[in-house]
């Protein structure tokens, strides 16, 4: 059984911050940005690390995918995602599947597009993952994701070190060069990366301002207490500093089979 990294209270707090269905920044607009150069309409899409379903719902409802399968390794996330999908009336096009760590439980050439938003940071063996992505993609299929990468000198940067000291999750991060090499070695072609650090630092500044506002603060404190609020705020501020100094590099990844 997978370790529990996203318990119910943690998930509730994240959705308070980023909206129903989302466990990271950007919402529907960032999902669309990741897929900006990919034709999704009428396609079959795999969402790796689907969380509580927000991105998969955007891909189906707003971007016109015919079939979206979201996978994750935590039962509570999949159950919550399925509830969100059902509430949105998207059961006919979006399904959620609980999986084990390791090879993807799908036949070769099953999907037109493999997508992931901000979850690959938890994957220890990136090389094996990219090979699986290639295997389940149809010829000409595309891989489009966002991942949390680190700068070459990240471990020497105070902003990055501060954030890592406060972060509660287990992260497996690579540099952009390491990521491109892994993707290329797996067999993906047409590889492109887009560093989103400047955008992200700005988003975090907006989020910190929201968190400091009386309405949001009161809601969170009432739900989780003052200590939890102070910890969450400190992590978010450090997160922005890590991106601003170049240590944390949220990056879009594009490749093709």
Percent of the chain with pLDDT strictly greater than 70 = 98
Q: What pLDDT, in 10s, does the model give residues 113-164?
A: 999 999 999 898 999 999 999 999 999 999 999 999 999 999 999 999 999 8
CATH architecture, range 8-151+170-200+248-256 = 3-Layer(aba) Sandwich (3.40)
Q: What is the mean pLDDT of residues 195-201?
A: 93
Distance between CA atoms of residues 129 and 158, nearest Å: 31
Distance between CA atoms of residues 207 and 243, nearest Å: 14
Res. 1 pLDDT band, cuts 50 70 90: very low
Count the neighbouring beta carbons within 10 Å of the beta carbon of residue 184: 13
3-state secondary structure of 228: helix
Question: 111 and 207 in contact (C-beta within 8 Å)?
Answer: no
Question: Among 34, 86, 84, 87, which residue's Cα sits nearest to residue 63?
Answer: 34
Q: Which contiguous run of DSSP H or E holds residue 223?
A: helix 214-224
Helices vs. strands in the chain: H and E counts, helices first? 10, 7
Q: What pLDDT, in 10s, does the model give residues 50-77?
A: 999 999 999 999 999 999 999 999 999 9
User: Global pTM?
Assistant: 0.95
Res. 166 pLDDT band, cuts 50 70 90: confident
Q: Where are the domains of the chain?
A: 8-151+170-200+248-256
Distance between CA atoms of residues 201 and 247, nearest Å: 12
pLDDT reported for residue 2: 58
């Amino acid at each position: 059984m997978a370790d529990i990294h996203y318990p119910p209270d943690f998930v509730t707090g994240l959705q308070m911050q980023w909206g129903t269905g989302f466990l990271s920044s950007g919402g529907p607009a960032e999902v669309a940005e990741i897929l900006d150069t990919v034709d999704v309409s009428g396609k079959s899409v795999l969402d790796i690390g689907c969380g509580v379903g927000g991105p998969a719902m955007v891909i189906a409802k707003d971007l016109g995918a015919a079939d979206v399968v979201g996978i994750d390794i935590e039962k509570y996330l999949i159950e919550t995602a399925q509830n969100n999908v059902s509430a949105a009336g998207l059961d006919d096009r979006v399904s959620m599947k609980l999986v084990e760590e390791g090879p993807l439980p799908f036949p070769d050439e099953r999907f037109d597009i493999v997508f992931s938003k901000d979850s690959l940071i938890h994957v220890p063996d990136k090389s094996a993952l990219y090979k699986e992505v290639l295997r389940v993609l149809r010829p000409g299929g595309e891989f489009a994701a966002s991942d949390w990468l680190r700068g070459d000198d990240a471990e020497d940067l105070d902003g990055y070190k501060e954030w890592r000291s406060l972060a509660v999750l287990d992260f497996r991060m690579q540099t952009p060069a390491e990521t491109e090499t892994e993707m290329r070695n797996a067999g993906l072609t047409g590889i492109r990366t887009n560093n989103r650090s400047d955008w992200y630092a700005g988003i975090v500044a907006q989020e910190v301002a929201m968190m400091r506002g009386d309405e949001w603060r009161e809601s969170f404190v009432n739900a989780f207490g003052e200590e939890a609020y102070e910890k969450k705020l400190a992590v978010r501020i450090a997160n922005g500093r890590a991106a601003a100094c170049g240590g944390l590099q949220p990056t879009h990844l594009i490749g093709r089979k």
